Structure 1
Amino acid sequence: MSEHEELNVVLCAPRGFCAGVDRAIQIVEIALEKYGAPVYVRHEIVHNRFVVASLEARGAIFVEELEEIEANDRPVIFSAHGVPKEVKADAAARNFFFLDATCPLVSKVHKEAELHHRRGRDIILIGHAGHPEVVGTMGQLPEGAVTLVETARDVTRLVPRDPDNLAWISQTTLSVDDTRTIVTALTDRFPGIVGPHKDDICYATTNRQEAVKSVAAECDAMIIVGAPNSSNSQRLREVAISAGCRNARLIQRASEVDVTSYGRIRTLGITAGASAPEALVEEVLEAFAAHYRLNISTARTADETIEFALPRQLRGTRPPVPSLTATGMT
């Protein structure tokens, strides 16, 4: 491989931060500026170690459980993935001042679940076991009120209490195509099942997957920048492979990329999960620019203009320090 060889790089757009991630990070940043350090965050605010480390450097302390927090006079922030109701009750019992960074689209799913429950329906949740969003959604209702399915095969094993009184909801970061298959299996087996008025898979997940689908077949390789515990990033890799690019890799940082292992590729596609900042994409471009002459183009399939309001306690405040969500890193 000569450093003078040309490499076509196709940047997928949209990519990277979504409105829910942008909001969650701002909540931590503004809380640090308004209340001072430390500010506690239960679970990673979003699934990205670069983001977490950057916030830690400013004074955020990340914990997995509230019992790890000894002081009750510091703000506590719940991550973008949402939390079970019992966690908020525990925070109130400990007299914590807490801010909820749950993505509004996840909160929408929570409200749907509660509405179905009030109407006496058994609820089927399409999602991945153990993911924080799934744990949070199931934790909105009493144990046993929500049944999790991960595959169409799981649907064949369902034994609902009342097959004629069912509803389905879904995790917001799933594969659009895989979820459609599961929904088809549910509606085939339970024709009367009630679905969401609007798809639960969020706009950002859908848009990023569509952008990958639009370029995957023409790429010799694709790089998805994101964390291994990021559901939406893992789905982007799966979508790239199913759409025609067998050499699709999920990486967290450019340091994980062995450029020489790509050989004589002619076209490289690059995207980023919804919790990965643009700075990490720029790192990858720099790594390949050291070996190739890059011919960079953008494949845009949608424009995103959605913004979510901050919690009432933080409105009208913006941090004066450089933000992870500032121009150039979105």
Structure 2
Amino acid sequence: MPKPPLTLYLAAPRGFCAGVDRAIKIVEMAIEKWGAPVYVRHEIVHNKYVVDDLRDKGAVFVEELDDCPGDRPVIFSAHGVPKAVPAEAARREMVYVDATCPLVSKVHIEAERHSQAGLQIIMIGHAGHPETIGTMGQLPEGEVLLVETPADVAKVGVRDPEQLAFVTQTTLSVDDTIEIVAALKARFPAIQGPHKEDICYATTNRQEAVKAIGSKADAILVVGAPNSSNSRRLVEVARRAGCPYSQLVQRAENIDWRALDGVRSVGVTAGASAPELLVEEVIDALKQRYDVTVEEVETAQENVEFKVPRVLRQAG
């Protein structure tokens, strides 16, 4: 039986962003410098394949600082941590390396600057996400209020509507965030926002690439982890862009082939914490079942690179 034809629209950019790339390098370089084990507080990035690979190299993943022995280095994940965490590590005289994405650190600095100016902060983000917990934890309790939807904006109780600023999680849906910002500005006309959106370049670029293939593809596969905020947003963006079916898959083995029955075109992209190797695995799986024609759809080029902390670049 001949294989049915399939056009594969490959989104670009996709996959690793500069912050994820840097965080993984930090763990690898720490193991190289100090030997195994090196402890990592929370998954360094939200991807099982990446975490398992680093675990094999000598990383031990824990959820709290209390789970780390005092005599081994500890790394804080790319999502950022509350201010109390490095303070406690310093109090315990632990060697620690902060792998927080510089674009998340920028939001932390923004929130602190607004707070020092006497403003209360409203954060647009997802409750319970490590990035949200880290950003809210930069300031004392009550100084940062969380909203997830425009409906939340209507209910949020503030200290002084004239003394407000907002920040956002870096991995949100661009379109959803625009709606929430509009609701904030409508209710609190004096609210101050960032000079440029906090949503990071990589999240924005990956969403734009998905929009470009959303109207062409019968289905879109997003390679990423279920706990990855930016990957889950790509699934939502694909649906909103007009794609009849979009699916989040961790690996090729997770593809629901029955849902792809009869499709003539499939879009493939990957969240910012998913390695290209897993994208290639999905493409290979499609080629086993279909006569595939690959068409790359590029909407932006990325050349961002973040340096690793100086302590890892120093010998010894």
TM-score by length of 2: 0.98
Aligned pairs (5 A) from 1:168-179: 168-179=166-177
Question: Which residue of the other structure, out of 229, 232, 235, is the alignment partner of 1:231?
Answer: 229
Residue deviations 1:182-229, cap 9 Å, x none?
Answer: 000011111111000111000000000000001101100000000000
For residue 64 of structure 1, what is the aligned residue in structure 2? Answer: 63
Moved more, 258-267 or 136-145: 258-267
Alignment partners' CA distance in 2, 1:194 and 1:121: 9
Letter in 2 for 1:263: D
- Aligned counterparts of 1:243 and 1:184: Cα–Cα separation in 2: 21
For 2:71 and 2:162, locate their aligned partners in 1 and report how far apart those are by CA, in whole Å. 49
Partner of 2:198: 200
The CA distance in 1 between the partners of 2:165 and 2:258, in whole Å, is 50
- State the 1:314 CA deviation: 1.3
- Say if 1:254 and 1:280, in contact at 8 Å, map to a contact too: yes
2:28 corresponds to which residue?
Answer: 29
Separation of aligned partners in 2, 1:277 and 1:63: 22
Q: Quote the residue 2:76 is aligned against.
A: 78
Q: Aligned letter for 1:25?
A: I
Partner in structure 1 of residue 214 of structure 2: 216
Matching residue within 308, 311, 314 for 1:313: 311
Q: Which of 178, 181, 192 is the equivalent residue of 2:179? A: 181
Q: Distance in 1 between matches of 2:201 and 2:23?
A: 17
Amino acid in structure 2 at the alignment position of 1:59: G
Count of matched residue positions in the alignment of Structure 1 and Structure 2: 315
Paired residues for 1:294-313 under 5 Å: 294-313=292-311
- 1:46 corresponding residue in structure 2: 45
Q: Following the alignment from structure 1 to structure 2, what is the Cα–Cα distance between the partners of residues 145 and 167? A: 11
Output the CA distance in 2 between the equivalents of 1:178 and 1:147.
Answer: 18
2:264 corresponds in structure 1 to 266
In structure 1, the residue matched to 2:9 is: 10
Q: CA deviation at 1:260?
A: 4.5
Write the deviation string for residues 1-53 of structure 1: whole angstroms up to 9, x where unpaired: x5521110010000000000000000001111111111100000000000000
Determine the C-alpha separation between the residues in 1 that align with 2:256 and 2:178: 36
Which residue of structure 2 lines up, in the alignment, with residue 245 of structure 1?
Answer: 243
Structure-1 separation of matches of 2:199 and 2:140: 24
Letter of the 1:158 partner, please give it: V
Q: Distance in 2 between matches of 1:245 and 1:77?
A: 39
> Equivalent residue for 1:324?
none
CA distance in 1, matches of 2:200, 2:222: 19
Q: Distance in 2 between matches of 1:228 and 1:150?
A: 19
Q: Structure 1 315/3 Cα, relative in aligned 2: closer, same or farther at 3 Å?
A: farther
CA RMSD of aligned residues (A): 1.0
Shift of 1:303: 0.3
Instruction: Provide the secondary structure at the position in 2 that maps to 1:24.
Output: helix
Per the alignment, in what secondary structure is the counterpart of residue 218 of structure 1? coil
Paired AA for residue 182 in structure 2: T
Partner of residue 327, structure 1: none
Aligned to 1:124: 122
Equivalent pair of 1:259/1:287 in contact (CA under 8 Å):
no
**Structure 1: 4+ residue segments shifted above 6 A:** none
Equivalent in the alignment of 2:54:
55
Question: Counterparts of 1:117 and 1:66 in 2: how far apart (Å)?
Answer: 27
Q: Which amino acid is the alignment partner of residue 135 of structure 2? A: T
Q: How far did residue 159 of structure 1 move?
A: 2.2
Structure 2 distance, partners of 1:283, 1:130, is: 31
Aligned twin of 1:291:
289
- Letter of the structure 2 residue corresponding to residue 279 of structure 1: L
Q: Give the whole-Å Cα distance in 2 for the aligned partners of 1:78 and 1:235.
A: 24
